[in-house]
Chains A and B, each alone.
Chain A
Amino acid sequence: MIPIVVLAVLGVGFAVFSIIAGSLAGPKRFNKAKLESYECGIEPSPQAFRGHRFPVKYYLTAMLFIVFDIEIIFLYPWAVAFNKLGMFGLVEMILFILAVFVVYAYVWRRGGLEWD
């Protein structure tokens, strides 16, 4: 028990120390590149609208991600119990994925996946 507590204290202490020390010790010289969003060194595109609003495209993409991401929640338990579920589970899951694909087709055909 005690080693765990010690480890935790050390970990938290180190994190707090690094943040505080960094902000105290580091030089404060800002330029454009430093203030920009970090996108693996690529110029972020497109720019945020007048400095504080992002185009709706980001929203759309994020929403599509959430919707398609959430199907995993059903795939995962099914995969875990795949052996027990047998044929029935397979058929149901195929139906489920087909239904998701219908929506995918809709999004694709109506231009939801195009950036511009």
Chain B
Amino acid sequence: MSDFHSPSIAYTALAPMLCIGAAAIVGVLIDAFVPRALRWSAQIAAALLGLVGALIAVAVLAGTHTVTADTALSIDGPTLFLQGTIAVLGIGSVLLVADRSPALDGGAFAAQAASTPGSADERAGIQAGRIQTEVFPLLMFAVLGMMIFPASNDLLVLFVSLEVLSLPLYLLCGLARRRRLLSQEAAVKYFLLGAFSSAFFLYGLALLYGYAGTVSLSGIQAATLTGQHNDTLLFLGLGLLSVGMLFKIGAAPFHNWVPDVYHGAPTPITAFMASATKVAAFGALLRVFYVSFAGLGWEWRPAAWGVAILTMVVGSLFAVTQTDVKRMLAYSSVAHAGFILVGVIALNRSGLSGSLFYLLTYSLTTVGAFGVLTLVRDPDGEATHLSRWAGLGRRSPVIGSVFALFLLALAGIPLTSGFTGKFAVFSAGVSGGATPLVIVGVITSAIAAFFYIRVIVMMFFAEPVADGPIVATPGGATAASIAMAVAVTIVLGVFPQPILDMANHAAPFYH
């Protein structure tokens, strides 16, 4: 055993994560000590402060390249880009969560998660206007995990941050105020499958540790270069490790949880999962494959091609016949995972920056789209069935047009951010020698465009349904979140250059 030496920790470089962590802990303390009446606003303030602080810290740190905490964390361009993205998404999601305006019937979350659905206890809780303020600390802990995930420079930190981001999400999924059975079912499914996938991830970690004798990404890379180790361990480990990460990004055949969980979870949480989780998980996936296994590209590419093709096809094909808007968006997020995988597989600098950019554009549009979903309501909650959306665009043109914009962006129509993102990823794919993959991508995008456009047609061309859903006037928070998404979607479609440059400068990884 070698002598212990204290690791040097560059606390300034960790500032974004420390901000979030502090906000989360403060959130716990608020729940413990602040009187009930003030808790809600105090929680919002703490969460937003933490997120804004993290965003500022990211901006100040821009350009940093450092490996700190004894090679456990790498603060480099991609990390900061993704952390900034996650902070922005966190702000958007917190705003969605925070909206408890009467038009939304008091928000999306259960008065008391522990009370049984339909019980007197539950009714009493709702009447007393009780609310679960733990949502915010849970959200912040999830954000913390997401911030660490793409920064992890060794597999152990990767595993721990994976769990830190997952565990609060499992709980958050089960907290819906309405349709609680669906919500609880979503939580159980997500939890069991998530834990199952973590077990695979962990076994992969163990095998790679056995292969390289270390869990640091650079160490594993070094071991792959010497080629003097047991290859079977390496590839088994790599495969199992990938399962864990592919599960989180929702790639087929590990995608089954996505539609069910996105459907059942409270919509603001769905927005958060569909955007921020995906960003973080792709960040980690990119780092692992670009840092540790870049030299083995020829070996893992065939499998990755299969996964990417399957994901794109499954996502866009299954979405075609969905009749629920929320579920359709869930499948669309599967398809988008496939598109981003094209950028990952490109395995070059433009693949990395293209993926980073795509993540930013896709995730913000997604937050906006789910934000709109929270506004279209029936008496018993959100009206997500497609037939209820008929003629919506005629009755409330603004919300209809905003949602149409998001759908067009998701479909990748030019002059929206979605086109720029898709373009960046696909051109990287072509230059990375993955032309057939790009062709599949283009074809599946054409299929995907069909179902996005179908919703638009439904909203604008179909006769409005007689007792159609009410389009709630958004509270300030939701409006702010959606407005942010609209602005980004348009600006990144028309003037993407500054952000594309940022993504270009962010690459490559530093380790």
A and B touch in the complex (CB under 8 A): yes
Contact between chains at A86 and B29 (CB < 8 Å): no
Interface string of B1-29 (1 = CB under 8 A from A): 00110110000000000000000010011
**Residue of A with least CB distance to B137:** A106
CA distance A85 to B6 in the complex (A): 7
| B3 cross-chain contacts in A, Cβ below 8 A | 84
Residue A75 at the B interface, CB < 8 A? Answer: no
A108–B33 CA distance with the chains assembled, in angstroms: 10
A-contact 0/1 string along B179-220, CB 8 Å cutoff: 000000000000000000000000000000000000000000
**A86 CA / B4 CA spacing, docked (Å):** 10
Note all chain B residues with C-beta closer than 8 A to A65.
none
Distance of A74 Cα from B29 Cα, bound (Å): 23
What separation, in Å, do the CA atoms of A109 and B32 have in the docked complex?
5
Task: Give complex CA distance A87, B9 in Å.
Answer: 14
Question: In the assembly, what is the distance between CA of A85 and CA of B32, in Å?
Answer: 33
Determine how close the nearest CB of chain A comes to the CB of B157; give it in whole angstroms: 15
Q: How large is the interface on A (under 10, 10 to 19, 20 to 34, 35 or more residues)?
A: 10 to 19
B residues near A88, Cβ cutoff 8 Å: 6-7
- Shortest Cβ gap from A87 to chain B (Å): 8
Known A-B contacts A99-B25, A102-B25; A110 and B32 likewise in contact (beta carbons under 8 Å): yes
- Indicate if B382 sits at the interface (CB-CB under 8 A): no
How many residues on the B side are at the interface (Cβ–Cβ under 8 A)? Answer: 10
**Complex CA distance for A105 and B26, rounded to whole angstroms:** 12
Residue of A nearest to B30 (CB): A106
List A contacts of B28 (CB < 8 A): 102-103, 105-106
Kindly state whether residue B31 has any CB partner on chain A within 8 Å.
yes
Check if B32 sits within 8 Å of A81, measured CB to CB.
no
- Encode contact with B along A84-101: 1 for CB under 8 Å, 0 otherwise: 111111000000000100
Whether A86 lies near B31 (C-beta < 8 A) is no
Known contacts A99-B25, A102-B25, A84 near B4 by CB under 8 Å: yes
A89 to B6, CA, bound (A): 8
Q: Check if B33 sits within 8 Å of A109, measured CB to CB.
A: yes
Which residues from A are CB-within-8-Å of B33? 105, 109
Residues of chain A within 8 A (CB-CB) of B25 are 99, 102
Chain B residues with Cβ below 8 Å from A109 are: 31-33
- B337 CB → nearest A CB, Å: 34
Q: How far is the CA of A87 from the CA of B31 in the complex (A)?
A: 33
Chain B residue, CB-CB nearest to A89: B6
- Complex interface: chain B residues within 8 A of A87 (CB): 6
* Contacting residues, chain B, for A102 (C-beta < 8 A): 25, 28-29, 32
Q: Determine the chain A residues whose CB is within 8 A of the CB of B6 once the complex forms.
A: 85-89
Report 15 cross-chain contacts, Cβ distance below 8 Å, ordered by A residue: A81-B4, A84-B3, A84-B4, A85-B6, A86-B6, A89-B6, A99-B25, A102-B25, A103-B28, A105-B29, A106-B28, A106-B29, A106-B32, A109-B31, A109-B33
**A positions within 8 Å CB-CB of B:** 81, 84-89, 99, 102-103, 105-106, 108-110
Interface residues of B (CB under 8 A from A): 3-4, 6-7, 25, 28-29, 31-33
